Chain A
Amino acid sequence: MTTNVGRSVPRVDGYEKVTGAHVYGVDIQIAGMLHGAVVRSPHAHARIVSIDTAAAAQAPGVEVIVTGRDFPFLFGGACQDQPYLAIDRVRYIGEPVVAIAARTEAEAQEAVDLVTVEYEELPAVFDMMEALDENAPLVHPDMDTYVKGGHVIVPHTNINTLWTFQCGDVEAGFAEADHIFEHEFSAHAISPAALEPHVSVAKYDPVTGGYTLWLPTDRPFQMRGELTSSLGVTSDKVRIIVTGVGGSFGGKNTLISETISVALARHSGGRPVRVEFTREEDLVASTTRVPAVMRLKTGVTNDGMLTARTAEIVWDSGAYTANTPGVAIRGSSTIVGPYRVPNVSIESRQVYTNRAITGSYRGYGTTQVTWACESQMDIMAAELGIDPVSFRLRNAYEEGDPYINEQIMHGVGLHESLKRSAEEIGWGEVDRAPAPHLRRGKGIATMIKPTATPTSSNAVIKVEHDGRVTVLVAAPEIGAGQSTVLAQMAADSIGVPLDSIVIPGTDTAFTPFNGPVASSRTTYHVGNAIMLAGAEVREKILRAAGEIMELEPVSLDLMDGVIYHDGERITTVADMLGSFGFLDGYSITAEARYSPKGSPLLKAPGPYEWMSSIFWMFATHAVEVEVDIETGQVRVVKVAAAQDVGRAIHPLGCEQQIEGGVMMGISNGLFEQYKGSGGKIANSSFADYKLATMPDLPEIVPIIVESEHSEAPYGAKGVGEPGAAPTAAAIANALYDAVGIRLMDTPLTAESIREAIEALAEEQASEAGRSQ
């Protein structure tokens, strides 16, 4: 019975969010707390000659000063290459060198200026292509000595992740093609820019040697793992209590402010230490989207069938690896797009440079490759004289098609997403020139995204004496509505009212393990775990009712917290359990683990079965833009955004994700851009790093596409990431439709658009001249 699933019930976090009561990481205040600040490197690559902290130690309010030598640990989710505080060497501008804790934030900041660090500069490399050069300075000469995961490195170079893929026979595929297209695209660095900056409070217990941290994250167990493995301590020595999360978008999933608060807390004699990044620190010294340069070579037949693709991709991880190998591999593996291409060869190299660290960002590598893939699709469609929508439909995956690793695709709402978004935007009709200086055009782009597979989730459900139901899951609410959707599924799988469900926050000391709240995996994976535990709790409630009332459990039913016998209401869960009184008590519990491992849906012959995804996400954006041909300014007029969500558990929540994704895609594609040179970021505030604001809002029509998925909880797949991925390419394709220009690099700034319009006009003029 689904009484809650499928309905846009009021969000469970609504009241506390609109009243300002929701407690975020920045709101945590603990008595006796000290405040941390950081001395950062002004050099992109240098040896630390000496550090003098004597004057800072004398400054008012200063209690603790820590350097890399005092806390010499290396950390990193994929590769332990990063020091908590620089040890002997700095590798990017903004790298933490000395941490200071004082009684107030202002005192800590003032003491930062009193530290003197002497550096000896080293040759640096800032460009990812130059980093590949065999004579390039090495960012990590000792790369092969680090503790790391399974990704392939190339020691004595800057290549920290090498990944290749082959299927079919690309030479034969190109031989079959009537046309071969080669293009190079680039995608830029983007700040996740969650409005809640990076923040953490850490407390060290000198008696037990354990750390407790309060922080906003979407990845509590993985963060605990990064801390325990880098510090060499057992799991009980790091406890993470997750606060409210003021946005993550991939940014709050690795240690950022935490390295500073932990290092300071270890030396503060047990006093808690709070570290909150300023917006400047957040923009220049946290993580960004991984920039990429992508070379695509694609073969197509005259009738628009794709025959082969080779892709060479270079990714820039910045000075440290963080979690970029996953981003690079995930992104590279989807550069074929959601299309049947029988012959594929991919080479992906990710390099270190002396730039700020990069990492995961909403879409995990797919926003970059979607830009390249979908721009080239449009270029090819134009050259072939085929309508861009119909070109995509000819090649787009359908249910039962083999993926590039030969997994059989299941739950594929791609065609519907293409058709419905095109229909909604009014494909093929444009009012070209609404004013002399304005031109309009329409464009479309689509995308595919797998979810991290296999990953697992656990749920513990406990029914209390008064009928309240506690659901323990490590699934922090990061804004996407996780807590509401999980509560809906819990209520329906047990048969209790939605408002009886309580999902306490995540505390790694008590909450069972979960993979990250990332990869759009939460609804599906945690939902499946909740459904399994919920079914068991339901059965136990009915069994208990049978015993207590001396009735056959098969004659009992449970709906909305009420127990029925042969259709007659006999009691409620609360009355039944409450009757046991104060000391006798009765709680009903169940626990379950869900992992897709072993699912027949993941089967794929050959060596690439690990690329199978338990579900696939598809999203299409069809846009109408208006460009001012004098200034190059673009206004997005309308976006029809169709996304295959499996089944919408909370339709309004799905629409929020789709609309929010569109807004983020517009912001990323048109406005956001880091400036500066020599590894120095020149724009370190929201005045210079421009995000989309309310006046940039176009008409957005969210379209929920539902496809069948046999193993999804109530049919639901994921929805969070795809929403921001196709927007930039759709806008670029609409610009081509409007004014005939083709941009190969993001962002699509007014300046680059104006220049392209001028260049095209010159080209046309000179061609006209030649032909006379």
Chain B
Amino acid sequence: MLELEFTVNGSPRKIESEARLTLLEILRETFMLTGAKEACGVGECGNCMVLIDGVATPSCLVLAGDAGGTAIETIEGLASDGELDPVQRAFVDAGAFQCGFCTPGMVMTAKAFLRDNPDPEPEAVKQALSGVLCRCGTYSRIMRAIDQLTGRGI
């Protein structure tokens, strides 16, 4: 058993965890933060993306021990008091989801990218989001959502 301390969506957390558990498992099963999704478990779909110290990271690839001491942001921490984050708002307005399974991973990846690149070129957006699969094929609408945020759209 490992003793772990980190912050999750701004709140300090202290837990005991088996060393073999991944951050994704801890988030989903210990904290019941089920927004991050597992669609592959091996780093190939991006549906489990969370931000670790501000960096979009597939949480299925992070062992619990390696998450110690970090600040973790998940989709559940983005809206405050029922008020959607601008990225979430843009996804709703642009219709950038269908089944929504990839949406938490997509939104978190977009969030981290836009923090660092407020006015990106479309090709850079495409590259930044290339690690998140969307089987519903909403890529065109996700691009529109990002365009709205960066002022290129509408």
* Chain A residues within CB distance 8 Å of chain B: 8, 10-11, 13-24, 26-27, 29, 106, 193-197, 244-247, 249, 278-279, 478-481, 652-653, 655-656, 659-664, 667, 685-687, 691-697, 700
Cβ contact of A18, chosen from B36, B97, B101, B134, cutoff 8 A: B97
- A663 and B139 contact, CB distance less than 8 A: yes
Complex A-B, nearest 6 residue pairs according to Cβ-Cβ distance, in ascending order: A20-B35, A663-B137, A479-B99, A17-B100, A246-B101, A20-B75
Asked whether, in the complex, the Cβ of B38 is within 8 Å of the Cβ of A26, the reply is yes
Q: Of the candidates B38, B42, B78, B141, which one forms a contact with A659 in the assembled complex, judged by CB atoms under 8 Å apart?
A: B141
Complex Cα spacing A117 to B35, Å? 39
Asked whether any CB of chain A lies closer than 8 Å to the CB of B149, the reply is no
On whether the beta carbons of A29 and B39 are closer than 8 Å, the reply is no
Contacts of B134 on A, CB cut-off 8 Å? 195
A residues near B130, Cβ cutoff 8 Å: 693-695
Counting CB contacts under 8 A, is B79 at the interface? yes
Among A194, A195, A652, residue most surrounded by chain B Cβ atoms (within 10 Å): A195
Q: Contact at A694–B129, with CB atoms within 8 Å?
A: yes
Interchain CB contact (< 8 A) of B136 among A279, A660, A694: A660
A246-B134 Cα distance, complex, nearest whole Å: 10
Please tell me if the beta carbons of A685 and B34 are within 8 angstroms of each other in the complex.
Answer: no
Look across to chain A and name the residue whose beta carbon is closest to the beta carbon of B47. Answer: A195
Q: Write out the residue numbers on chain B whose beta carbons fall within 8 Å of the beta carbon of A279.
A: 39-42, 44-45
Cβ–Cβ contact B142 & A694, under 8 A: yes
Chain B residues with CB below 8 A from A10, complex form: 92-93
Contacting residue for A667 out of B32, B99, B100, B137, CB 8 A: B137
- Tell whether B11 is near chain A: CB-to-CB under 8 Å: no
Q: Does B13 contact A (CB under 8 A)?
A: no
The distance in angstroms between the C-alpha atoms of A197 and B98, with both chains bound, is 16
Interface residues in B, total, Cβ within 8 A? 55
In angstroms, Cα B132 to Cα A652, docked, is 23
Inside 8 A of B93's CB, which chain A residues have their CB?
10
> How many angstroms from the CA of A164 to the CA of B102 in the assembled complex?
42
**What separation, in Å, do the CA atoms of A2 and B136 have in the docked complex?**
29
Q: Is the CB of B133 within 8 A of A661?
A: no
Q: Are B137 and A661 in contact, with the CB atoms below 8 A?
A: yes
Please, which residues of chain B bring their CB within 8 A of the CB of A694?
125-127, 129-130, 132, 139, 142-143
| Shortest Cβ distance from B142 into A: residue | A694
Residue from the set B44, B107, B143 with the largest chain A CB neighbour count within 10 Å: B44
B92 in contact with A24 (CB, 8 Å) = no
Instruction: Using A24-B37, A694-B130, A700-B140 as known contacts, list a sample of 19 further A-B pairs with CB atoms less than 8 Å apart, ordered by residue number in A.
Output: A10-B93, A14-B91, A18-B88, A18-B107, A19-B88, A20-B75, A22-B100, A26-B34, A29-B29, A195-B102, A196-B39, A246-B100, A247-B98, A652-B95, A691-B133, A693-B133, A694-B127, A697-B140, A697-B143
18 A-B Cβ contacts within 8 A?
Answer: A17-B97, A18-B84, A19-B78, A20-B34, A20-B74, A26-B38, A193-B135, A195-B133, A279-B40, A279-B41, A660-B136, A686-B45, A693-B132, A694-B125, A694-B132, A695-B130, A697-B126, A697-B140
**Is B17 interfacial (CB-CB < 8 Å)?**
no
CA separation between A507 and B91, bound complex, in Å? 29
Q: Which of A17, A29, A656, A667 has the most CB of B within 10 A?
A: A17
Q: Would B135 and A19 count as touching, CB distance under 8 A?
A: no
B95 touches A196 (CB 8 A): no
Contact B126 A695 (CB under 8 A): yes
Whole-angstrom CA separation of A368 from B34 in the bound complex: 37
Most chain B beta-carbon contacts within 10 A, residue among A196, A478, A696 = A196
B57 interface residue per 8 A CB criterion: no
CA distance A19 to B32 in the complex (A): 14
